[in-house]
Structure formats: structure tokens, C-alpha cells
Amino acid sequence: MNAPISPRLTRLSLTDSSAQLLEKCDENVRKSSFPASKVDIYELDLKARAPGKMLAKFDCILGCDCAYYFPFVTSLARIVANSLRPSPYDRVDNTQKVIGQFIHISPEHEESIKHLLTKLSEGYKMNTKTENWSDLILFLLFWTLLNKKRNNCKKKWMERVILMWHTIRRQVTDMFL
């Protein structure tokens, strides 16, 4: 079964600094039912500035464990800030319509994450917040256990995990669909 593709998704860009990993991405896209015409795959050097083709281009950037190494945090913040589409400020009603969002998923690398948040919020004046998604991991564990032994889960724990899953799913759905 394949995940549904939102009609609002116009392009998907996959980047990494490893050519070998990008080849694997290309192979996976070709094997999947995802439309290859909607996918850009290219190498991104975190030590360099964002390429011109990335400037103010993205509504959402999903980073997976890319702020784990302290020296890359500054350049990662610069690339993210310069690659997201700007969020216009309405001077009439004094509000800002948030367009570009950066979601960074990783294990806690406390100092690097704090430094990344500081760079984004103070250096680039971006709104930032952190959330602990350990409940998502609990849900995946729960789902695995549920599929193996449906009757061995405690009802309250199951209800809490399902509620958290629905909350996360709603946030992601609101963002992408």
C-alpha cells in the first residue's frame, strides 16, 4: 500500500551531502509509485551557502537529524532561513501569515539543538518551538505490539497513545493537505 500524495504537493526535493545516499533515494523513488516528475534530488553541502535554486523556494523543510554536529548548526540555520518562502507581515491587522516551516526531527542533541534554535530565532528572527515527540515512538511501539498481541495492552495507555497519534496526524495533515 502506498501513502496518498496530496494534490497540493507540487515538488519534493531530497538533499544530502552523501552521493551514495542520494543514489539510494533515486532508486527508491523509481521503485515506488511516487511520481518521479515531482522529485528533485541533489547534493547539498552544509558548509556552503544555499544554492540559488533553493532560495525562498520551500513551504516546508523537513530535516532529519541534521543538527547533530555543532559546526554545521550555523550553516544549517542559514540554509533553512534562506530556503523557506518568506512569511509576509500584514501591517493593517498586525499579523503575520506563516508560510515557510522547518521541522527538524532528531534525537536530542541538547547543545546543538539549543544553538540551532538560537540561530533561527535571534539570528534570522524566525518563530521557533520544540516538542517532544517521544509519544510518536511510543505509538509505533504500541502499534507493533498491538498487531502481535491485541489483547495485552492496557486500555488507558492505548487511549493516550491513540489520542497523541491523532494530534500529530492532524498537525501534519493541516500542514501538508
DSSP labels for 64-113?
Answer: ES---SHHHHHHHHHHHHHHBPP--EETTTTEE----EEEEE-S--HHHH
Shared domain check, 108 and 61? yes
**Which domain range does residue 153 map to?**
134-176
Q: Could you give the number of structural domains in the chain?
A: 3
Shared domain check, 92 and 56? yes
In a domain, 68, yes or no: yes
In a domain, 6, yes or no: no
What integer pLDDT is reported at residue 32 of this predicted model?
83
Blockwise average pLDDT, block size 10, the chain, 177 residues? 70 90 90 87 87 91 77 89 86 78 74 87 86 60 53 54 60 54
What integer pLDDT is reported at residue 149 of this predicted model?
47
Shared domain check, 125 and 138? no
pTM here is 0.70
In a domain, 1, yes or no: no
Query: Which set of grid coordinates corresponds to residue 140?
Result: 509505533
In a domain, 152, yes or no: yes
